[in-house]
Structure 1
Amino acid sequence: MIRLDYQPWGESLAELADAARRAEDAGAGVVWAPELHRSAPIAAAALISGTTTVGVGTGVALAFARSPMVTALTALDLDELSGGRFRLGLGSGVRKLIGDWHGVPFDPPVARLRDTVAAIRAVIAGAHLGDPIVHSGETSIAVRGWRRPHAPVRERIPIHLAAVGPAMTALAGEIGDGWLSHELCPADHLAETVLPMLRRGSARTGNRPEVVVSACCSVDADAGLARDRARGVVGFYASVKSYAELFAGAGFAAEHEATVAALRNGAAADALRDGVPPEMAAAFTLSGTRDDAAAGIARYRGLADAIKLSPPTHGLAPAEIRAAQDAVIDLIRELA
């Protein structure tokens, strides 16, 4: 049985928390907070405030935009706030985002993420002990003469790593408590491309990360309307040059190239749906009728441990997003 997770949406933090509560009531296993328009830890705190039993994770927080010390203390606080329900999802982001938006080093990303995770784990495990906490590498810390005067709920908090490329995905297999995909990860791509990468990393250490697939889910009695709502999400990801192989493998190389060009020529990231035909939306999202979405979810059984569903948001008015969100939560209730 595959676990159904959910990524709530809300115009306000209060609405976000309410959506998490409704997803929990529907049977979701974990609710996840992304980081783009909000701070993932603050959004996760809102999700915690609205729920009582469901797991809560950052899906994902930017690993390099905060120091390992700040990230570790934030994770400890969120784990305490949630009563041990928190999981820390981290991702490297991309070079332009990390360098231009956050003004921090990105290269070398694989080694930097490896050391960041090691430093975070060291702080989480030892903050309450008062012993020196030292890690040296691309990311280094040396904490001496300090002790956190609060007992942790857990001395090891699960860390899930988001990864796309082969080296980063292998790293998730090697050291991650879990692996998180981005929103476009069809079942055949997971089976044929991603899982072999994860296994290569796992073979180094015997680690077995939880596999969490993310999927934009758009459900309506009118399958055409559902897929139309999902086009903006696909367009957003199709504007990223590094996803060329993903789209080419599914027969959409020309559409990907056109979308990259549209963004380069000044189109807003939320306005790239026009270059996404309905069949492209159907290939990369769980969109259509409830039966279509249920059948799409079933294709991940035996491949993934969980699937993180999220409503379409890009290029849609709030009322449309709310309708799409209600439909996904109803689907979780039927299937969980």
Structure 2
Amino acid sequence: MKLDAGLAVEGKHLPRIAEAAREAESLGFAGLFASETKHDSFLPLALAAEHTRRIQLGNSVAIAFSRSPMVTAQLAWDLQDFSGGRLLLGLGTQVRAHIERRFSMPWGRPVARLRDYLGALRAIWHSFQTGEPLQYEGEFYRHTLITPFFNPGPIEHPEIPVYIAGVNPGLCRLAGEACEGFHVHPFHSPEYVRRVVLPAVEEGAAKAGRSTGEVELATSVFVITGESSEEAERQRERMRAQLAFYASTPTYRVVLEVHGWERVGEELSKLAAAKKWEEMPKLVSDEMLAAFAVEAAPDELGAAVRERYEGLIGRVAFYLPFEPGENRAFWRAAVRSVGG
């Protein structure tokens, strides 16, 4: 099992990326991932690539539908070349409201659209690498023009692994069918992975004549830890609020259904619609907290995460910010414990 680090991207984050990347590599993390909430996820990876030599670099995740496949193809191609083949391109669909109202882009049939997007990406990369004419005509995307002036040309590592993210079975099946990896949403439980994610990935892989072993599962794990009982309790309550937020999202109801907690999700959705944020965490029971988060002392957390996910998930990250210069002993021990 591999332990990855997530880049902290709050505030003026770009000036600190080089330091964070160097430290993550020195501590032995397998990968360094940039999210895409307040900031773009590609710029930090370019800086990280410049200041590291070994660690893998990925998006967790870049929003596919906010960009043309050509834009994403160019960004990924340059990053793959610059990093010496260390890119793990992570793509997500987001949800209708954000695509239509935040990005002002079209939405509809997200699984089919993302399948077409992946086909377009690979057609573009093939043209970049071989110089052959670009001739991709899909249901949603059409790319039929690229002249030598606009073709960046071949690179040493043209095979770019693509990981997609999702919650519902349709995107899990697409990962099995057409991707090298799948980002399991942080709002998950091992039981949900076993009963929903893995069967759907296997179904998609079988459809494409692949094995599930060709698709690596990655996730970010909710963790609760602390040097004192008071600190652990503060984290426990913050995590309760985070889980309440995710569980209120109707799109994620499939995770709750595995445990028979659909009614809790419905009640949380009503509270969220009424903006009664402070009441929401009260509906997240200790049983739910234990299902969705790993709780352990700092020196035991890595082993606890490994025990929960061994044989289930290939690479994990803690749902904690990785800050350069902070908690080095904790992170070094976690890397050793998770990696075995």
TM-score after normalising by structure 1: 0.86
Post-superposition shift, 1:174?
A: 0.4
User: Are the equivalent residues in 1 in contact too, given 2:133–2:145 (CA < 8 A)?
Assistant: yes
My pick for the range that moved more, 96-105 or 222-231, is: 222-231
Give the letter aligned to residue 134 of structure 1: Q
Q: SS state of the match for residue 58, structure 2?
A: strand
1:1-336 equivalence runs, <5 A = 2-11=1-10, 12-137=13-138, 138-146=140-148, 147-207=150-210, 208-221=214-227, 222=229, 223-250=232-259, 252-266=261-275, 273=281, 275-290=283-298, 291-292=300-301, 294-311=303-320, 329-335=331-337, 336=339
Query: Does the 8 Å contact 1:169/1:194 carry over to 2?
Result: yes
Deviation string for 1:55-87 (max 9, x for gaps)?
001111111110010000000111122121111
- For residues 91-116 of structure 1, the C-alpha deviation after alignment (integer angstroms, 9 at most, x for no partner) is 11111111111111221211111111
CA RMSD of aligned residues (A): 2.8
Deviation of 1:219 after TM superposition, in Å, equals 2.5
How far apart, CA to CA, are the structure 2 residues paired with 1:141 and 1:52?
34
Give the direction of change, closer, same or farther, for the CA distance of 1:36–1:267 in structure 2 (3 Å limit).
Answer: farther
CA distance 1:210–1:139, shift in 2 (3 Å): same
- Give the percent of matched residue pairs that are identical in Structure 1 and Structure 2: 31
Deviation at 1:25, TM superposition (A): 2.0
Distance in 1, Cα, partners of 2:23 & 2:40: 22
SS at match of 1:172: helix
Decide which moves more: 141-150 or 56-65. 141-150
Question: What SS is found at the alignment partner of 1:280?
Answer: helix
- For residues 281 and 15 of structure 2, the distance between their equivalents in structure 1, rounded to whole angstroms, comes to 29
Q: CA 1:266/1:229 → structure 2, altered by over 3 Å: closer, same or farther?
A: closer
Q: Deviations over 1:1-41 (max 9, x none)?
A: x1112212143223344333333222211111111111111
Distance between the aligned counterparts of 2:57 and 2:233, measured in 1? Answer: 33
Instruction: Supply the distance in 1 between the matched residues of 2:201 and 2:318 (Cα, whole angstroms).
Output: 22
Farther off after superposition, 279-288 or 297-306: 279-288
Is this contact kept in 2: 1:122–1:133, CA < 8 A? yes
- Tell me the TM-score normalized by structure 2: 0.86
SS in 1 for 2:65: coil
AA paired with 1:140?
R
CA distance in 2, matches of 1:332, 1:167: 33
Question: How far apart in 1 are the matches of 2:279 and 2:157?
Answer: 43
In structure 1, stretches of 5+ residues that fail to align are 314-320
Instruction: Summarize deviations over 1:165-184 as a string: whole Å, max 9, x none.
Output: 11211011000011111112
Structure 1 residue matching 2:218: 3-state secondary structure: strand
Shift, 1:162, TM fit: 0.9
Q: 1:224 to 1:294 in 2, by over 3 A?
A: farther
Residues 258 and 124 of structure 1, relative CA distance in 2, 3 Å threshold: same
State how far apart, in whole Å, the 2-side matches of 1:112 and 1:188 are. 29
